[in-house]
Chains A and B, each alone.
Chain A
C-alpha cells in the first residue's frame, strides 16, 4: 500500500507503524463522571468495520508525524490522508 503523505508525497506503508481506529484521538476525560466505563470502551472496544475506516498511522521511518488515513478495509483503497494534528484540532482535541 502507498500512503500519500500530505507533506512528503507518496510513501510506502512499510515506513509506517499502524495504531488503529482514529477514534483513539478522542481519549476520554479521566476526571469526568463515568470515566471508568468510558476508558474500558476506549481501550478495548472497536467498531472494526468492513468498508471505510479512519485509522492512525505513525510515520516512524520518516518525519515522525501521525496521520489519519481513510482506507477501505475490503479493497485497501486509500481515499484521504490528513495530518492527525489537523484532524485533532478540527475535532476540538488540541489547541
Chain B
C-alpha cells in the first residue's frame, strides 16, 4: 500500500530492531476517520529502566523532555533516558499560563530568549505535533512617562538582538482593547510595548510533542521513577539511585525546576535558589474578549484568553519558601484586584480553577545552565516563573552542553559562578532576594 510511505517511518531502536512510528498529518486524520480510528497508537512507550545509559535526564517536564529530544535529534546521541518521579508533564509545564515571548532587556538573556522564540516558531513542523503555537501578540502596558522610557529602552534592546518590538500609544491600545480602564486617576494607561511574535502555546502538547519526538528517536521515558540520590565516586557521577533501583549513566543532567535544591542535595550541593509557589487562575468561559496577551504595568497581573474561552490570569508569587503546589488567599485577592483595576468589566466573571506550581527562584531572577564541580553532572534550573517560554531553547542549549561540554553561544552567561564573580543577570534590579524577582 502506497500510503505506508508517509504513515510509517522506521526507527532503529536501542536494541537494534526497527520500529515503525506514525507520522501525524491532515491526511492521516482523514484516513483514520474513514477506518474507525483503529490505527492510532500510544504517542510514546512506557519504558522500563535499563541498567545503564549514556545520558540520564532527571525530570520529565518540558525542559527535560526537550533536552532528551534535542540530544537525540540535533546532537545525534543515543542511549538516553528521562526519569520522572510522577508522570511526564505533570509539573510546571502543565501548570503555567502558556505565554511565550522574548521581551528581555539584558545581554545575557535576550539572545537566549529570542533563540527560544525562533524554535517555537518552527516547533510544530520540527516535532510533528500540534502544539497550537499562536503568535497572537503580547502587550506590556505602561502608565507613567518613566515606564514609557524604560519600555522604549527595552524595545530597542529587543530590536538590536533581532527580536521584534513596537511602542504603541494610548489610542493604538484603545483600538485593540477599548474596555480597559484608560483614565484611572492613579495609573492611566499611556501606551504599551508590543511584541507581535509573542503569544501562547498549548503547554501540555509541548510536553507530549517532545516526549513523542524523543521516544521516536529511541529515548526511554521512565515514569514513576523518583531519583533518591546520586552515586558519586572520586568526583565523578556514576548514575542515579531511584525508586526503581540504580541506573548507571556517563552523564546526568538535572532539570527539575522547583525540586532543584532537593535533587542537587543528593549530590551534596547547595544552590543559589529558593522554592516558591506561583498561582494561576482560569475564569469561566466568556465570549471572545482578549485576542492577545496583556500585562498590567501598575500591578502584577497578566491575562490572556484560552481557546476554550476562559480568561487565564496570573500574578505574583506568594513570597515564602514552599514546596506545596498550592498558594494562599492573599495572592488570590491581589490578582483579582489587579484585574479589576485594569479591566473593571471582568468583575462579574467567576474563577473556575486555581492551582500552584513550585518555582525555582534564583538569586538574580535568571536561570543556571552549567556543569557542576562533579564530573558528568550537569544542572539546568533557576527558571523562576519564566520557564515555559524558555522550554525549547533550554532543552537545546542543555543538550548542547551535555553533548559537547561547552555552553551554547546563547547561554554562556548562565553559570553557577556568576554570583561569586558579581556577574548577576538581574533583569529586575532587585538583588539577591529571590521572592522579589
Q: Give the B-binding residues of A (Cβ under 8 A).
A: 1, 13-14, 18, 20-21, 40-41, 43-50, 53, 55, 71, 73-76
- Asked whether A76 and B322 contact (CB < 8 A) given A18-B435, A40-B420, the answer is yes
Residue of B259, B270, B273, B323 ringed by the most chain A CB atoms within 10 A:
B323
- Alpha-carbon separation in the docked complex, A46 to B270 (Å): 6
Determine whether the beta carbon of A1 is less than 8 Å from that of B328.
yes
**Chain B proximity of A69: nearest CB distance (Å):** 9
Contact residues in B for A21 (Cβ distance below 8 Å): 321
**Chain A proximity of B57: nearest CB distance (Å):** 21
Determine whether the beta carbon of B324 is less than 8 Å from that of A75.
yes
Contact residues in A for B272 (Cβ distance below 8 Å): 44-46
Contact residues in B for A1 (Cβ distance below 8 Å): 320, 328
- Alpha-carbon separation in the docked complex, A8 to B433 (Å): 28
**Chain B proximity of A12: nearest CB distance (Å):** 8
Q: How many A-B contacts if CB must be within 8 Å?
A: 66
Q: A20-B433, A47-B270 are in contact. List 4 more A-B contacts (CB 8 A).
A: A48-B270, A50-B261, A50-B275, A73-B321
Check B180 for interface membership: any CB of A closer than 8 A: no
**Chain A proximity of B370: nearest CB distance (Å):** 14
Determine whether the beta carbon of B275 is less than 8 Å from that of A48.
yes
Contact residues in B for A76 (Cβ distance below 8 Å): 322, 324, 328
Determine whether the beta carbon of A45 is less than 8 Å from that of B319.
no
- Specify which of B324, B330, B363 is in contact with A74 (CB 8 Å cutoff): B324
Q: Which chain A residue has the least Cβ–Cβ distance from B321?
A: A73
- Asked whether A44 and B319 contact (CB < 8 A) given A1-B328, A20-B434, A73-B324, the answer is no
Determine whether the beta carbon of A43 is less than 8 Å from that of B432.
yes
Contact residues in A for B433 (Cβ distance below 8 Å): 20
Contact residues in A for B363 (Cβ distance below 8 Å): 43-44
Determine whether the beta carbon of B432 is less than 8 Å from that of A44.
yes
Contact residues in A for B324 (Cβ distance below 8 Å): 73-76
Residue of A14, A21, A45, A53 ringed by the most chain B CB atoms within 10 A:
A45
Q: Give the A-binding residues of B (Cβ under 8 A).
A: 259, 261-262, 270-275, 319-324, 328, 330, 363, 419-420, 432-435
Determine whether the beta carbon of A14 is less than 8 Å from that of B321.
no
- Alpha-carbon separation in the docked complex, A44 to B365 (Å): 12
Judged by DSSP, the binding face of B is: mixed
Contact residues in A for B323 (Cβ distance below 8 Å): 50, 73-74
**Chain B proximity of A91: nearest CB distance (Å):** 20
Determine whether the beta carbon of A46 is less than 8 Å from that of B273.
yes
Determine whether the beta carbon of A46 is less than 8 Å from that of B274.
yes
Contact residues in B for A50 (Cβ distance below 8 Å): 259, 261-262, 275, 323
Contact residues in B for A13 (Cβ distance below 8 Å): 320, 328, 330
- Alpha-carbon separation in the docked complex, A14 to B272 (Å): 26
- Specify which of A14, A46, A48 is in contact with B330 (CB 8 Å cutoff): A14
- Alpha-carbon separation in the docked complex, A14 to B434 (Å): 18
Q: Which chain A residue has the least Cβ–Cβ distance from B260?
A: A48
**Chain A proximity of B38: nearest CB distance (Å):** 45
- Alpha-carbon separation in the docked complex, A61 to B324 (Å): 26
- Alpha-carbon separation in the docked complex, A20 to B274 (Å): 9
- Alpha-carbon separation in the docked complex, A76 to B435 (Å): 17
**3 nearest A-B residue pairs (beta carbon):** A48-B261, A44-B272, A50-B323
**Chain B proximity of A26: nearest CB distance (Å):** 15
**Chain A proximity of B356: nearest CB distance (Å):** 11
**Chain A proximity of B431: nearest CB distance (Å):** 9
- Asked whether A48 and B271 contact (CB < 8 A) given A73-B324, A76-B322, the answer is yes
Determine whether the beta carbon of B328 is less than 8 Å from that of A48.
no
- Alpha-carbon separation in the docked complex, A50 to B322 (Å): 7
Determine whether the beta carbon of A55 is less than 8 Å from that of B271.
no
**Chain A proximity of B418: nearest CB distance (Å):** 10
Contact residues in B for A48 (Cβ distance below 8 Å): 261, 270-271, 273-275, 321
- Alpha-carbon separation in the docked complex, A48 to B257 (Å): 13
Determine whether the beta carbon of A44 is less than 8 Å from that of B275.
no
Contact residues in B for A75 (Cβ distance below 8 Å): 324
**Chain B proximity of A9: nearest CB distance (Å):** 19
**Chain B proximity of A87: nearest CB distance (Å):** 18
